[in-house]
Structure 1
């Protein structure tokens, strides 16, 4: 479909980014083989190291497992550990055949304690088998924009066909953090499972994410480790209404914590947020084919962007783009196009543009108007012919 570009409307200096005396903060040096730092709300990437390199995710896989379970199950739904279940290698809560838990309890075991056995029981409950669940995982990952990953199990245990990238994992985590229950679980420091048949069975769970205790504003998300993957961490923190997601893959030992801390500090301290355009701002007026009048276009939401603190204020321009000519009737709030924003040659993003008011079809554009005009014209012709015939008869 041809894209109609109306006009580049404006070039302006973003507000609140005045030249700072201090120089922009240098990017952090991280040990991890791959890493990324992303704004949770906009998806803006603030830092990247090998963001598209294929990496093993280890237990950070469980972010995707939990997201699918939350979308497909009720939290109070009961799950029975299937017959013949013998446990899973690695971190576990040692589920036993016949035990019954709610989906909620299994999610806490999965995300707080990183239980591999809970991952498998949830997968089989949701999809009937691990293979079927893996197909759901790949489909869901792709829907978040994570198109360079492939998953074969719900817990991240080693498999050469089970891989992701730092960028993909950030996108998956960003989608998961939109789920209120997921957010609540990954921010939980400890959880107690209900009474179990074996009084000695594990019930008290402690979150494996040390940043929840160590980093101001930390609110998630998931740790991971295998010999092949090394230390992995998807971390998030929220300060003054701003949330960042840091992904660290293939780090070594305790460097996983310093890597994540350095990334989050860099994001919070090294960038300044600016609202480039507000919500419901009128940016253009366009012709409406067959309409009674033009229609004003207003932004559906604000657009914010993070710029390096200490650098000169950047110029931002925008274009109004319509996928097709606007045709009446138009309803107030109808999405008609987008406002695309640029800094230099770099595309920052886009905001939907909505109709500010209703625009009905013009009177002359209605079929009944022309039918009426035609009918009146026909009556006029017939009347004139009638008068002519009358005059002719009187003359005789």
Structure 2
């Protein structure tokens, strides 16, 4: 059955998408998914429900960040390159329900501004425009994301847009052939693979951005990080030197976080999916416990 589904999706131009057969449920109805592993070796220090496929919200943006860093490394993209905001993306940037920075239709924005606001502030309009710059259309961007998921041997995933938003929130930016209410889904294990791959290839560049507490944007002031575990942030722990990576949050996904920290000469990656949506601190408290357990095992 799964093989047939893949064939049908390849014919539709979205090769590699695997749609979870599970009936959608609210995040609170599912046990939290937790995973902690060594970034270099992949050794797992702790896991719970790590194979459960579930919404990942804005953690999805890591794919587009990966491609941007890759193209910069290859000399195919520069931080100073610009792209003009179309009306539909500019309009979405004004949606007060969503994490965003305000864009104006017809105005040019630099790759640097879009990359930094995508990763630090989780700006949906920024990641859409960045994907548009790199691939020419949302359809091509999503196709490339699914191809990369296949290359990385991800097991079970549904990747329908670059933002991680539910399709019903992005209007005509929805990719043709994807359901109106679809959203990106992965397991904690697969999220860890995405983070691990991105860190292994472009770790220095990635962390230099992800560790910033704020991002200045287009003379409009600065926008705060969504990572509350960084130094000076509300959920920072002195014994856990977190320097990344990406948050995600929605009613369907709950609060999600893929984090990373280096201690005792080991870099650890943690993934928490489906923490309490109403409690912003819980996902970071769980993450702290994962880091604590991992670093204790490292020194034993």
Q: TM-score, normalised by structure 2?
A: 0.75
CA contact (8 A) 1:32 1:248 kept: no
Report how far residue 149 of structure 1 moved: 1.6
- Provide, for residues 197-223 of structure 1, a one-character-per-residue CA deviation record: whole Å limited to 9, x for no partner: xxxxx4302111011021331110011
Alpha-carbon distance in structure 2 between the residues aligned to 1:32 and 1:219: 27
Match of 2:49 in 1: 50
> Which structure has the greater CA radius of gyration?
1
Aligned-pair distance for 1:83? 4.4
Q: Report what 2:84 is aligned to.
A: 80
Aligned to 1:239: 263
1:154-186 CA distance string (max 9 Å, x none): 110024352111000001011112312212111
- Given the alignment of the two structures, is residue 150 of structure 1 paired with residue 126 of structure 2, yes or no? no
Shift of 1:241: 2.1
Give the C-alpha shift of residue 240 in structure 1: 3.1
Bigger drift between 256-265 and 75-84 goes to 75-84
Q: Is the 8 A contact 1:32 1:259 kept in 2?
A: no
Q: How many residues align?
A: 237
More helix by share: 2
* SS across alignment from 1:211: coil
Partner residue in 2 for 1:189: 213
Q: Which has the higher strand share?
A: 1
Do the aligned partners of residues 32 and 264 (structure 1) sit closer, same or farther apart at CA in structure 2, a change above 3 Å counting?
farther
Report the counterpart of residue 147 of structure 2 in structure 1: 139
Q: Is the 8 A contact 2:60 2:184 kept in 1?
A: no
The question of whether the paired residues in 2 share the 8 Å contact of 1:123 and 1:129 is answered with yes
Whole-angstrom CA distance in 2 between matches of 1:186 and 1:59: 14
Mapped pair 1:229 → 2:257:
no
Question: C-alpha separation between the residues in 2 aligned to 1:77 and 1:147?
Answer: 35
Equivalent position SS for 1:248: strand
Q: Secondary structure at the match of 2:256?
A: strand
For structure 1, list consecutive stretches of 5 or more residues without a partner in the other structure: 1-30, 196-201, 273-308, 310-396
Measured in 2, the distance between the counterparts of 1:219 and 1:241 equals 14
Cα deviation digits, residues 70-95 of structure 1 (max 9, x gap): 22332222122124542244110011
Give the conservation status (yes or no) of the 8 Å contact 2:35–2:48.
yes
Instruction: Quote the residue 1:212 is aligned against.
Output: 230
Aligned equivalent of 1:165, options 179, 183, 187: 187
Shift of 1:32: 5.6
Q: Is contact 2:214-2:222 (8 Å) kept?
A: yes
Alpha-carbon distance, 1:264 to partner: 0.5
Q: Contact 1:87–1:96 (CA<8 Å) still a contact in 2?
A: no
The CA RMSD over aligned residues, in Å, is 1.7
* Cα distance change of structure 1 residues 95 and 44 upon mapping to structure 2, 3 Å threshold: same
Q: Measure the CA separation in 2 of the matches of 1:177 and 1:151.
A: 21
32 and 224 in structure 1: CA distance in 2 versus 1, 3 angstrom threshold: farther
